[in-house]
Amino acid sequence: MALLTLAEAKAQLNLTSDADDAELQTYVDAVTAPIEEYIGPVEPREVAERHDAESGRRALVLRTTPVLSLTSVEPLLDGGVSYPVEGLVLDPDTGEVRRRDRGWFRGLLLFTMQAGRADTPTTVNLAARMLVQHLWRTQRPARGGGLAGGGEDYSVGQPIPGFGYAVPNRVLELLAPYRLPPGVA
């Protein structure tokens, strides 16, 4: 599942020719990183994270969210305890993992999971289309000699912390309902 396809980007830009497909594909590929930095993984992928529960923990919070499923929880040191995923409760949005038996996690652990979303929300896809459009227009001269899409239409205003001028406010507003909680990146 792709965040955005070349055909969707071409439709957003009203392009019918294949002349710019190779260059446009670069833009399509590039928008995934800034969007996922803001809202977490969209495209499903395997992720592995190390967690320290040496002193014992009732719950651990995964750093990568959202989580589609846990694959395994294995010890990183010889003699450590494995935790079968069937015996765990996962909150896919917050990444909190607890044991069903209310026991404690112990040891250095490696959590392997499928992170991302089962489907790309329509609003996220639209934000990706608009981001491609914004970036594409900064490279295309307008007929009057200025940059296409200039003026207030794609204005970023003040630089946005972590994003600078590359991501317009309208894209961030569309992504806001899916934004990662503070402290998660």
Q: Which amino acid is at 168?
A: P
59 φ, ψ (degrees, to nearest 5): -140, 150
User: Do both 110 and 124 map to the same domain?
Assistant: no
Contact 60, 97 (CB under 8 A): yes
Q: Which residues contact 160 (CB under 8 A, 6 or more apart)?
A: 167, 169, 172
Residue 142: predicted pLDDT: 56
- Answer yes or no: do 15 and 105 share one domain: no
What is the arithmetic mean of pLDDT over 101-109? 95
Rounded to 5°, the CA angle 37-54-113 comes to 35
Higher model confidence: residue 166 or residue 94? 94
Mean pLDDT of 81-100: 95
**Between 2 and 119, the higher pLDDT residue:** 119
What does the pLDDT read at residue 7?
A: 96
Q: How far apart are the first and last CA of the chain?
A: 22
Kindly list the distances between the CA atom of residue 148 and the CA atoms of 101, 127, 141, in Å, as whole numbers in the listed order: 60, 19, 6
Clarify whether residues 52 and 35 are in a common domain. Answer: no
For residue range 117-175, list pLDDT tens digits in order: 999 999 999 999 999 999 998 776 654 444 444 444 455 555 555 556 678 889 999 99
pLDDT score at 76: 93
Q: Which two tokens stand for residue 121?
A: 């929300």
Same domain, 102 and 156: no
Specify the pLDDT at position 168: 87
Regarding whether 103 and 61 lie in a shared domain, the answer is yes
The per-residue pLDDT for 164 is 61
**Residue 20: per-residue pLDDT:** 92
Q: pLDDT (tens digit, 9 = 90+) per residue, 45-86?
A: 999 999 999 889 999 999 999 999 999 999 999 888 999 999
Per-residue model confidence (pLDDT) at position 147: 47
Q: What range does the domain containing 16 cover? A: 6-41+118-178
Give pLDDT, residue 5: 94
Is residue 183, in this structure, part of any structural domain at all? Answer: no
Q: What are phi and psi of 6, to 5 degrees?
A: -60, -40
Are 123 and 102 in the same domain? no
Average pLDDT over residues 88-115: 96
Same domain, 10 and 37: yes
